[in-house]
């Protein structure tokens, strides 16, 4: 499999460090609110990566964190539950949004069934241990900081100049214009802040971890150091991943991850979709407008993960139509009237050469999908593939792309009878009755296409 490694800025043949097992760490959500569909684009990319690695025979050990303590979760939980104990308030808020996130992910076919999802608040000991092992740290009045001037490689992802100075930044989310020593640990300032006991070099520093230390500590706790692949959206290159690498490498003298992959952003009107710009939509917004969450998944897969994708309702509409096309094609397997046309279609060969080959080439989902649409276009109205070809191809689409098209049920007996009655009415040229029966079927969500081979139903 070829993957574009952000560390080397090259397309490389991927090789895990031990046998066929792959350690994969993906940065997870901060659970203070609904995630937006921009975030979900990145999780869909990571799900596709995991699926492809698995298909190639790798045993994937996937770890994802849940950021359930940071400035935003603390502020929001205090606002919502001001009279609760701070840790309880934080737990109430974050568990709720963690559940909401998992539900969104499930609706999008993101499969976490074999993933290890780990909460920051349950790994504070590992973070403290890591902080103890970092040589180039220092204490300031408000916490413990990482001294970037003592780490010569600082700035690999964003080509920073090396003239760093010693100012400090407490905020975890800053940009490259604000390069500074970053917080490993923040001392408690207000009564309403949840805090953990921490004694460092004889000083009592009760407080909470910075954001970056969380991923370094949890990733290496579960996957060792270095591990194989680390991913996130491009905005995480700096400062988050830069800081993760710096602190892990200074603590343990080894690289953090051999490969870093970064997914490009989902945009709205040319700007990154983000909470702070208030230009975001959630999966609920999509569902409320009547779109299938899978249409959003398909929209995401129709562009390469390293290209920006501009979201618009028109593009979602087009993706919904494309999804309907795939589903109608999948439903042909149930059609008694369609004639089998398998000429020149060898499912196994098609899967290998047209479908899996692009996926193994840096996850080229748009090419795999355009090959699928070419295959669909070969089947003329009134035709279908053989059961065996459908079974192989649809199963593979689901395994690789998670579109959930292989298990679609047949229509029920009553609906089949209505189709038969309509055919009889048409034979008797009773157009009124035929129309009436068509309407009845439509009310049940079943449409009819009259083809040379007879009526073919589709779900409306
Ligand atoms: P956050 O909760 O902000 O840490 O983001 C969670 C994940 O979503 C990270 O991997 C981010 O890089 C990613 N992300 C944030 N905004 C976008 C966006 N507009 N498009 C794609 N991914 C995003
Ligand atoms: Zn992270």
* pLDDT value of position 177: 80
Our CA angle for 445, 446, 448, nearest 5°, is: 150
* pLDDT value of position 176: 81
Helix or strand run (H / E) with residue 271: strand 271-272
For the segment 247-302, what is each residue's pLDDT rounded down to a tens digit? 999 999 999 999 999 999 999 989 999 998 999 999 999 999 999 999 999 999 99
Q: Ligand 1 in contact with 266 (CB < 6 A)?
A: yes
For the segment 320-362, what is each residue's pLDDT rounded down to a tens digit? 999 999 999 999 999 999 999 988 889 999 999 999 999 999 9
Percent of the chain with pLDDT over 70: 100
* pLDDT value of position 456: 96
Residue 428 DSSP label: T
* Structural contact between residues 295 and 316, judged by C-beta atoms closer than 8 angstroms: yes
- For residue 58, is pLDDT > 80? yes
Q: Ligand 1 in contact with 240 (CB < 6 A)?
A: no
Residue 334 DSSP label: G
Q: Ligand 1 in contact with 233 (CB < 6 A)?
A: yes
- For residue 161, is pLDDT > 80? no
Which residues are CB-contacts of 350 (< 8 A; sequence separation ≥ 6)? 371, 375, 393
* pLDDT value of position 330: 96
Find the 240 Cα to ligand 2 centroid distance in Å: 6
Which residues are CB-contacts of 173 (< 8 A; sequence separation ≥ 6)? 211, 239
Of residues 98 and 157, more confidence is placed in 98
Q: Ligand 1 in contact with 274 (CB < 6 A)?
A: yes
Q: CATH class for domain 2-263?
A: alpha beta
Distance of alpha carbon 24 from alpha carbon 11, whole angstroms: 18
For the segment 215-256, what is each residue's pLDDT rounded down to a tens digit? 999 999 999 999 999 999 999 999 999 999 999 999 999 999
- For residue 164, is pLDDT > 80? no
- For residue 383, is pLDDT > 80? yes
Pocket test for ligand 1, best of 29, 33, 36, 39 (most atoms within 8 A of CB): 39
Atom of ligand 1 nearest to the CA of 28: 6
Percent of the chain with pLDDT over 90: 92
Least confident of 129-143, 165-179, 325-339, 366-380: 165-179
Q: Ligand 1 in contact with 236 (CB < 6 A)?
A: yes
How many C-beta atoms lie closer than 10 Å to residue 317's C-beta? 14
Fold classification of 268-401 is Isoleucyl-tRNA Synthetase; Domain 1 (1.10.730)
Find the 369 Cα to ligand 2 centroid distance in Å: 30
Q: Ligand 1 in contact with 272 (CB < 6 A)?
A: yes
């Amino acid at each position: 499999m070829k993957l574009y490694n952000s560390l080397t800025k090259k397309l490389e043949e991927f090789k895990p460090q031990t046998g066929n097992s792959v350690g994969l760490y993906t940065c997870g959500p901060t659970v203070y609110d609904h995630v937006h569909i921009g975030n979900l684009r990145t999780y869909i990319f990571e799900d596709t990566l995991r699926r492809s690695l698995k298909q190639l025979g790798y045993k994937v050990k996937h770890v994802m964190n849940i950021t359930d303590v940071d400035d935003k979760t603390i502020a929001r939980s205090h606002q919502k539950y001001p009279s609760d104990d701070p840790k309880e308030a934080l737990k109430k808020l974050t568990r709720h949004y963690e559940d909401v996130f998992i539900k969104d992910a499930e609706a999008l076919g993101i499969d976490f069934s074999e993933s290890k999802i780990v909460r920051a608040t349950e790994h504070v000991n590992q973070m403290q241990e890591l902080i103890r092992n970092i040589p180039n740290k220092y204490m300031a009045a408000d916490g413990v900081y990482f001294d970037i001037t003592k780490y010569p490689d600082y700035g690999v992802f964003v080509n920073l100049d090396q003239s760093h100075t010693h100012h400090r930044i407490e905020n975890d989310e800053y940009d490259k214009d604000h390069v500074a020593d970053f917080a490993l640990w923040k001392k408690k300032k207000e009564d309403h802040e949840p805090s953990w006991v921490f004694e460092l070099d004889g000083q009592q520093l009760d407080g909470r971890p910075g954001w970056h230390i969380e991923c370094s500590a949890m990733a290496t706790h579960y996957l060792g150091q270095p591990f194989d692949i680390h991913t996130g959206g491009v905005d995480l290159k700096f400062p988050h991943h830069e800081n993760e690498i710096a602190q892990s490498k200074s603590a343990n003298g080894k690289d953090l991850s051999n490969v870093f992959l970064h997914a490009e952003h989902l945009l709205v009107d040319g700007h990154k979709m983000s909470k702070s710009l208030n230009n975001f939509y959630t999966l609920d917004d999509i569902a409320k407008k009547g779109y299938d969450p899978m249409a959003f998944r398909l929209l995401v897969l129709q562009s390469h993960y390293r290209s920006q994708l501009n979201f618009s309702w028109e593009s979602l509409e087009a993706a919904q139509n494309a999804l309907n096309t795939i589903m109608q094609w999948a439903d042909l397997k149930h059609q008694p009237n369609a004639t089998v046309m398998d000429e020149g279609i060898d499912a196994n060969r098609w899967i290998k050469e047209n479908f899996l080959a692009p996926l193994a080439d840096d996850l080229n989902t748009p090419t795999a999908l355009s090959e699928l649409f070419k295959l669909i276009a070969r089947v003329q109205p009134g035709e279908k593939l053989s059961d065996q070809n459908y079974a192989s191809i649809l199963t593979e689409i689901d395994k690789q792309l998670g579109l959930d098209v292989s298990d679609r049920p047949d229509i029920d007996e009553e609906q089949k009878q209505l189709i038969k009655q309509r055919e009889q009415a048409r034979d008797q040229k009773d157009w009124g009755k035929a129309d009436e029966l068509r309407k009845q079927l439509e009310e049940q969500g079943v449409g009819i296409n009259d083809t040379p081979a007879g009526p073919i139903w589709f779900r409306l």
